Amino acid sequence: MNNTKYILVGIDGSAISDSLVQYAIWLAKSNGLTIKLLHIIEHSHKSEQAHHEGNLTPNIRRELLKELSDEERIESKQLIAKGKELINSAKEKVIAAGIDNVVAKLRHGTLPEAIEDLKDEIAFVMLGSKGKSHSIIDKGLGFHLEESIRATDTPVFIAQKEFTTPTKVMFAYNGSPTSKRAISMITQGNIYKEPLEIHVVCVNSDIKLAESLADEAKQVLSQSNNSIITQALTGDTIEQLTSYQKQNAIDITAMGAFSHGKLHGFFFGSFTTKMIQQSDTNFLLIR
């Protein structure tokens, strides 16, 4: 059995897809993992034919069903052809960058379903924050994004800006189990092995506690080869973190994701989702 795991990169033809491929190349060159490019074909066929089933004779109904079936076959062929074009173009870019370990796959269904089915093979998931209906500057998020992130326990990289080689990472640390897991993975070089400038930012209503958390994270991260900067802040967590991102030209924000259940997120809104919506950085999310 082949136990090799890979970076799964979701390609959907959105404005952010080209940048996402570049970030995947950047990551794979450091950690040496295989890249698997995945394009999902979602069928949402809507016929242009008017339906008046109550007025149809059996013969007309059979003919209508045949027409619908023909329309669906045509749509399927078109979606497959477009998907192959997208995935092969992305594969060529990866190979041109000097990475030979790349696989390109088409799959029917939805992205969350695919991630759930493939979770035992995945070391890392990379997704664009916006679907193909959004422009790169649109604050909207992809329809399946949150569900896709929840479908895996592996780190998820969310690209939402044009590619530039990342040098600065802001780590939003609050002492939670997910943030401790994240800090451990970063320290051990399980995600990216080259040195980066990591800004540990702790926000808490108690400044002394924020300072204690920042010191705790720094002690763990000091075992890595990264440059560590710490900052303790008070105030609204999202406002403080997004302000720090802008003031310090942060490339990637690393944080634990979705520590509350789906029901909590439904009623109160997800902190993770709000952070992504209100930030201009890319995100590294640890479940």
Q: Encode 49-84: b = buried (16+ Cβ within 10 Å), e = exposed.
A: eeeeeeeeeeeeeeebeeeeeeeeeebeeebeeebe
Q: Encode 89-106: b = buried (16+ Cβ within 10 Å), e = exposed.
A: bbbebbeebebeebebeb
1-160 CATH pick, 3.40.50.1980, 3.40.50.620, 3.90.550.10, 2.60.40.420: 3.40.50.620
Q: What pLDDT digit, counting tens, does each position of 148-162 carry? A: 888 888 999 999 999
What is the CA angle 263-267-271, rounded to 5? Answer: 85
Q: Quote the CATH superfamily of domain 166-286.
A: HUPs (3.40.50.620)
Say if strands 102-108 and 34-41 run parallel, antiparallel, or are unpaired. parallel
pLDDT score of 3: 61
Looking at the chain, the domain(s) classified CATH 3.40.50.620 span: 1-160, 166-286
Report the distance separating Cα 235 and Cα 229, nearest Å. Answer: 20
| The one-letter amino acid at 181 | R
pTM of the model: 0.83
pLDDT score of 272: 83
C-alpha radius of gyration, the chain, whole number? 22
Q: What pLDDT digit, counting tens, does each position of 132-147 carry? A: 544 444 455 666 788 8
Q: What pLDDT digit, counting tens, does each position of 248-278 carry? A: 999 999 998 765 444 333 333 478 888 998 9
Report the distance separating Cα 22 and Cα 164, nearest Å. Answer: 9
pLDDT at 242 over 60: yes
Could you identify the residue written with the tokens 């991260």? 221
Locate 87 and state its tokens: 């995935």
- How far, CA to CA in Å, does 273 sit from each of 2, 182, 187, 265? 35, 18, 25, 9
The answer to whether the CB of 158 falls within 8 A of the CB of 283 is yes
Q: What pLDDT digit, counting tens, does each position of 67-115 carry? A: 556 566 676 778 888 989 999 999 999 999 999 889 999 998 899 999 9
The answer to whether the CB of 287 falls within 8 A of the CB of 180 is no
pLDDT score of 203: 96
| Full DSSP string of the chain | -----EEEEE--S-TTHHHHHHHHHHHHHHH-PEEEEEEEE------SS---GGG--HHHHHHHHHHHHHHHHHHHHHHHHHHHHHHHHHHHHHHHTT---EEEEEEES-HHHHHHHHGGGEEEEEEESS-TTS-TT-----TTHHHHHHT-SS-EEEE-S------EEEEE--S-HHHHHHHHHHHTTSS--S--EEEEEEE-SSHHHHHHHHHHHHHHHTTSSSEEEEEEE-S-HHHHHHHHHHHTT-SEEEEE---S-HHHHHHH--HHHHHHHH--SEEEEE-
| The one-letter amino acid at 107 | R
> pLDDT-derived band of residue 14, with 50, 70 and 90 as boundaries?
confident
Q: What pLDDT digit, counting tens, does each position of 37-63 carry? A: 999 987 554 444 444 445 556 666 665
Q: What pLDDT digit, counting tens, does each position of 120-133 carry? A: 999 999 999 865 54
**For 13-33, what is the mean pLDDT?**
93
Q: What pLDDT digit, counting tens, does each position of 180-230 carry? A: 988 898 888 888 888 999 999 999 999 999 999 999 999 999 999 899 999
Report the distance separating Cα 38 and Cα 12, nearest Å. Answer: 8
pLDDT score of 130: 65
pLDDT score of 57: 63
